[in-house]
Amino acid sequence: MATRLDDAGLSARQIADHLGHSRPSLTQDVYLGRGTASPEAADALHRSF
């Protein structure tokens, strides 16, 4: 849910409030998806298999 709220453009503070977290850093570190750091690296790995 946190990742979807992040994708929808809500701030980490808004998401933390919704989830009942007192620290947005906890929400970011534990609950938000990291995403693909490098689309090029992901493409290279997919081609190699």
Instruction: Write down the domain spans for the chain.
Output: 2-48
CA distances from 39 to 3, 11, 16, 49 (A): 18, 24, 28, 16
Contacts of 14 (CB under 8 A, 6+ apart): 5
- Higher pLDDT: 44 or 34? It is 44
Helix (H) or strand (E) run with residue 2 in it:
helix 2-7
Contacts of 21 (CB under 8 A, 6+ apart): 27
Q: How high is the pLDDT of residue 36? A: 60
Q: Is the pTM of this model over 0.75?
A: no
How many helices (H) and strands (E) the chain has is answered by: 4, 0
Mean residue pLDDT of the chain comes to 88
